[in-house]
Amino acid sequence: MPSAMPEIAVASLYQRYLVTRHTGRAVRLSVEGLVAELGATSLTVLDFGDVAVIDFSCADEVVAKLVLRAVDEETESSECFFLFRGVAQHHVDPMDSALRRRGLAAAAQGPKGEPFLIGDVEPAASRLWLAVCQAGAARLDDLAPELGMDEGDCGRILDRMCARRLLRRDGQAYHSLFYTFAEAERAGNE
C-alpha cells in the first residue's frame, strides 16, 4: 500500500547541555507539539549538532520516548518517523542505552553524514537497513538476492523495520528516512 510523502520538520534542540529528566521532558513536549502541527504522516529531523552533552535521563525523555510514541501510534492513517542528525560519538552511549532499555532503535546520522542505527537491532536487520540506506529506496526482490537472504526472511525483517519506524514503505519499495528527507527537500525546492 502506498504511503503518503510525510510532512517534514527539522528542529534544532537549541541547547548545548541536555541533562536532567526535567529538561528532557520540556524538549520532548516541544517536539511533540511540532509533530502534532505536521499532521498524520511526518518525519521530524532532530539536529544534535550543537548539543555538547546529553545524559541518560534526557536521552530517555527525548529520544526513547519520542521513538516509543512513534511505534505505539501504529495505525494505517498515522505514521510518525524520527531521524536524529549530527549524532556524535559522545551522544551515542546515552541514546543507545535509553533505546535499548525499552527495546527500541532509531535511525541516526553522524556529523559527517554517515547513517547508522542506535538501540536494539539484530545484525541481519542492521545489514539490511544499511543496504536500503545505500540504495535510498529498494524492493524486496532486489535486496534479498543482493544480501544472499531468503526472500521471506528478508521481507519479515523489512516489515519489522517499518513497524519500528526505521524505514518507510511506499508500495513495493522500502525507503530510507535519509532518502525520504532528501526527496521532500527536493520537492520543496521545486
* Residue whose C-alpha cell is 533505546: 99
Higher pLDDT, 176 or 1: 176
pLDDT, residue 128, reads: 95
What confidence category does residue 4 fall into, taking pLDDT thresholds of 50, 70 and 90? low
Give mean pLDDT, residues 164-177: 93
Q: Phi/psi of residue 148, each to 5°?
A: 65, 35
**DSSP state letter for 171:** T
- Global pTM reads 0.88
- Say which range, 10-14, 67-71, 156-160, has the weakest mean pLDDT: 10-14
The answer for residues whose C-beta is within 8 angstroms of residue 97's C-beta and 6 or more apart is: 56, 59
Answer yes or no: is pLDDT of 124 > 80. yes
CB-side exposure of 7: number of CA atoms within 13 Å? 12
| CA–CA distance, 59 with 48 (Å, rounded to integer) | 11
- Enumerate the domain spans of the chain: 7-189
pLDDT, residue 188, reads: 67
CA dihedral 146, 147, 152, 158 (to 10 degrees): -100
Answer yes or no: is pLDDT of 75 > 60. no
pLDDT, residue 37, reads: 86
Answer yes or no: is pLDDT of 76 > 70. no
- Say which range, 85-89, 129-133, 173-177, 185-189, has the weakest mean pLDDT: 185-189
* Residue whose C-alpha cell is 551515542: 92
